[in-house]
Structure 1
Amino acid sequence: MANRKTRLAAFCSGTGSNFQSLYYAIDERRLPAEFSLCLSNRSECGAIVFARQHGIPTVHLSEKQYDTHEEFAAAMLTSLEEHAIEYILLAGYLRKVPETVVNAYSFRILNIHPALLPDFGGPGMYGINVHKAVLEAGSKESGATVHYVDPEYDKGPIVLQRKVPVEPGDTPESLAARVLKCEHQLYPDALEKLLIAEEL
């Protein structure tokens, strides 16, 4: 069907600025996709508020709500199935996606990381920690990476990557702001690349 739209889920834990950039890019670029779910481990975060304001179904799902990890993973899969989700886009989701979900959505989960993987990835490498590590290492450049999610942190195949210079006098905060601006362009580019490949 020519007008069919790929159904996306955003997984978020915070403000969801990448989620928002993706949402607006889909409209501006007329991409054949739509957000059909916003899932968060926090009941009242900025991403959830944004989703509600734009008529996107929301689900608050935390491992604390379940007795076992298996029950939590099963509930996540159920939510994805109920909303007929085809691709998951992690946008500041600060939890590891259960391996059963990763396996069920193999090569259908994307994440954006605020550095040039494989450098500065892995457990603990998120948010401001990444930018501190880049500066402490004396790197001359940083950037952002969109990659497929596999069972290991930040190890999945890279989809797109873009470099950002490290400027003299940069702080972790100033570098973070420059990288985030790059992320807001790179993630929509990666989604567009994925959707074009799907159509071929």
Structure 2
Amino acid sequence: MKTLRIAALASNNGSSLRAIAEAIVAGELDATISLLVSNRLSAPVLDYARACGIPALCIPTKGIESEADEKLHAALMDAGTELVILSGYLRRLGPKTLSAFEGRILNVHPALLPKYGGAGMYGRKVHEAVLDAGEPVTGATIHLVDADYDHGRVIAAKEVRINTSDDVAAIERRVMQAECALFVETLQRVVTGELSLPLYG
């Protein structure tokens, strides 16, 4: 079985990307990260990728979004990408990229979709909403990416129980651990053929 070629998109730290990279180095995942793209030049994930020898570039998404879509599509194609993963990528993907990689773009969301998803629901905002609602359980979700935020078919989910003593920081920490583990597990299922690409909804 050939090594899965992954490209990653991240806007900040790229925590789940880092977990995936560590799993590859540890021999737990037969894959290679052929490209890292961020929309923010100051994103720490760019320095991390370069330190790990992962080709990395910044494609800003402000301004002419169609131009960013063209550049991202070209970069992904040039890298021989088979699967695109979003690790805290806070921009909507354009139609050219979505069409070329339909069924081959996965995002991780820090809640149990369809609850607490959609535009504006990311990072601590999600955990604050979950805590304010008094939910007993939250979690992480891996889903296919389409033109709407957090909308595509759910591929995998992992529950995280909320303790009465939890604050937002505690929930965020445990959900992030769940996100990282779930993404690695999901990619392992792709590599073994349990999940066949493309993953149509």
Per-residue deviation, residues 70-94 of structure 1 (Å, max 9, x unmatched): 2221111111111111111100111
Aligned to 2:30: 32
Are 1:42 and 2:29 an aligned pair? no
Q: TM-score, normalised by structure 1?
A: 0.92
| Structure 1 residue identity aligned to 2:75 | S
Relative distance call for 1:199 and 1:125 in structure 2 (3 A) is closer
| Match among 182, 185, 199 for residue 186 of structure 1 | 182
Distance 1:118 1:83 in 2: 32
| Match among 90, 114, 121 for residue 118 of structure 1 | 114
Distance 1:199 1:132 in 2: 33
| Structure 2 residue identity aligned to 1:177 | R
Per-residue deviation, residues 19-45 of structure 1 (Å, max 9, x unmatched): 110111123344221000000011232
SS at match of 2:193: helix
Per mean C-alpha deviation after superposition, the further-off stretch among 142-151 and 92-101 is 92-101
Are 1:23 and 2:49 an aligned pair? no
Aligned to 2:10: 12
The gaps in structure 1 that reach 5 residues or longer are: none
Q: TM-score, normalised by structure 2?
A: 0.92
| Structure 2 residue identity aligned to 1:179 | V
The gaps in structure 2 that reach 5 residues or longer are: 197-201
Aligned to 2:199: none
C-alpha RMSD over aligned residues: 1.6
**Stretches of 4+ moved more than 3 A in 1?**
none
Deviation at 1:194, TM superposition (A): 1.7
Per-residue deviation, residues 40-73 of structure 1 (Å, max 9, x unmatched): 0112322111110111111110123x6x322221
Aligned to 1:143: 139
Percentage of matched positions with identical amino acids: 36
Aligned to 1:54: 52
Distance 1:46 1:198 in 2: 33
